[in-house]
Amino acid sequence: MPFPTTDEVSRHCLSDDEPETVHIEVHLPGRLDPARLRTAFRRALLTHPRVLMREVPGRRHRQTLAWELTGEPDGDPVSFAGRGPGALARARARALTDCPPLTLSPPMRLEVVEVSGETAAGEPSAGGGSSRTRTVLLLTTHHTALDAPSGLRVLATTAEHYGGAAAAPVPAPVRPGRAG
């Protein structure tokens, strides 16, 4: 399927001083089970098959760019960034500087960061360091391929699967018929 015009323009107007990413943070109390989260995220990707796409390989300056649907992720897009002072700040910096490649499906990644004794902004808490653990999910998408609403849909479906609810498959978009 060919790139839409806006995707074509964004690929030709790249600038090093502007991030090509969209990142979404979800702050949760406590710890998450890593295997269960990986499974839930993978199931969410399969529920939304349009996010499982990559750029068709070819010459960089070809006439038209195109997407191909893969049906499966090319790798594991979930990583665990660890914990400790500054872990959230480093994950946020990666979200702005390390764009998920368009050549791998899906063009998004989910980083999981455990935070103890920090505020939601990632700064040390004023109380001297509470031992209360939180988990931050940081979803980073390549903006040429996906936008914030698509990322939010995947995260919502991940939450449904993680919580044990069966997420309904997403129907294909219906194009209105032309009046003739």
pLDDT of residue 28: 95
Mean pLDDT, residues 148-174: 83
**pLDDT tens for each residue of 74-87:** 999 999 988 888 99
Angle between helices 34-47 and 148-162 (to 10 degrees): 130
Is the model's pLDDT at 179 over the cut of 90?
Answer: no
Residue 83: how many other CB atoms lie within 10 Å: 16
Rounded CA-CA distance 31/2 in Å is: 41
pLDDT of residue 57: 82
Contact 169, 46 (CB under 8 A): no
Claim: this prediction has a pTM higher than 0.85: no
Is the model's pLDDT at 130 over the cut of 90?
Answer: no
Mean pLDDT, residues 152-164: 95
Domain ranges of the chain: 19-162
**pLDDT tens for each residue of 46-69:** 999 999 999 888 766 666 678 899
> 116 falls in which pLDDT band (50, 70, 90)?
confident
Fold of 19-162: Chloramphenicol Acetyltransferase (3.30.559)
In single-letter form, the type of residue at position 131 comes to S
